[in-house]
């Protein structure tokens, strides 16, 4: 038992209750180089845990706009970066936008900070 091997630390059972679909934007450009359309391509679908970090409200054009920040822990998603979006499938397909990703593809888990704007 002196090999020094340590098993990867995993989330406790029952914490990964939510289902997320990770998507990346693919832009189509016209002959001038302007973005003509944007489509979303599925990167992966994962189960994970999510916690709310913050919520704030502001006034914009006479309307109250809310913004929430979330922390998601899930199995690593190859190719995930700040241009991706997350569809929170287990909560009515709410859309979250990736703010930061901690961890790399060699790590079994990633910590993702995402934001959501509500009008």
C-alpha separations of 91 from 18, 20, 50, 69 in Å: 8, 9, 11, 15
Element holding 85 (H helix, E strand):
strand 84-88
Residues forming beta bridges with residue 44, ordered by sequence position: 22
Region at 64 (left for phi over 0; alpha for psi -120 to 50; beta for the rest): beta
- The CATH homologous superfamily for domain 18-118 is Bacteriophage SPP1 head-tail adaptor protein (2.40.10.270)
Residues forming beta bridges with residue 63, ordered by sequence position: 60
Mean pLDDT of 56-72: 84
Domain boundaries, the chain: 18-118
User: What is the share, in percent, of the chain residues with pLDDT greater than 70?
Assistant: 84
Residue 42 has pLDDT above 70, yes or no: yes
């Amino acid at each position: 038992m002196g090999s020094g091997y340590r098993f990867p630390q995993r989330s406790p059972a029952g914490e990964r209750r939510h289902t997320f679909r990770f998507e990346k934007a693919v832009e189509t450009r016209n002959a001038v180089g302007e973005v003509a359309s944007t489509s979303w391509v599925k990167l992966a679908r994962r189960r994970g845990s999510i916690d709310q970090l913050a919520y704030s409200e502001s006034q914009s054009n006479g309307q109250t706009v809310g913004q929430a920040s979330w922390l998601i822990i899930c199995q690593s998603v190859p190719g995930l970066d700040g241009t991706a979006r997350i569809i929170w499938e287990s909560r009515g397909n709410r859309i979250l936008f990736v703010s930061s990703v901690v961890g790399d593809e060699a790590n079994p888990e990633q910590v993702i900070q995402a934001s959501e704007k509500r009008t």
